[in-house]
Amino acid sequence: MTDTIELVLDRELNAPRAALWRCWTEPALLEKWFCPKPWFITNPVIDLRPGGEFSCVMNGPDGEQFPNLGVFLEIVEGSKLVTTDAFAPGWRPQGRPFMASEVTFEDAGEGRTHYVARAMHWTEEARKEHEEMGFHEGWGAAADQLEELAKSL
């Protein structure tokens, strides 16, 4: 990796781009895949516009709860979502920003999608912290769940 602040999941998913987009932008669908099981999310809010809220509560198998509040920075209908936890709705700065994320969807033919999920951190230390938290395993498992749900739509 040449970029010291990014972590990237780059896959071809066996699901159509439109279905993957729905899974990312419809709260009821986001709840079904967004965390690697046995973790799950509750209270998803998706206000699909720049500055609109993107939030949920991550729930662990032992009752852990981690609220995640952020906003959308960029939306390209059907192909790109960019979010950050640096701001709360209303462009209110939040404590210690952890990352911005970018997810892209490109048609790969035959109902498949080239899917790239990028976590961009403010510092190399934050990137290392995220990697040690299990970025590759966790985001990989969530992508598997995303693919299965999208194929079923």
Percent of the chain with pLDDT over 90: 97
**Neighbour tally for 140: CB within 10 Å:** 15
The pLDDT score that the predictor gives to residue 96 is 85
The pLDDT assigned to 101 comes to 97
Residues 6+ apart with CB under 8 A from 78: 17, 18, 21, 105
- Measured between alpha carbons, how far is 9 from 113 in angstroms, rounded to an integer? 13
pLDDT of residue 145: 98
pLDDT (tens digit per residue) in 20-67: 999 999 999 999 999 999 999 999 999 999 999 999 999 999 999 999
For residue 1, the model assigns a pLDDT of 43
**pTM, to two decimals:** 0.94
Could you tell me the sign of the dihedral formed by the alpha carbons of 70, 137, 63, 28, in that order?
Answer: positive
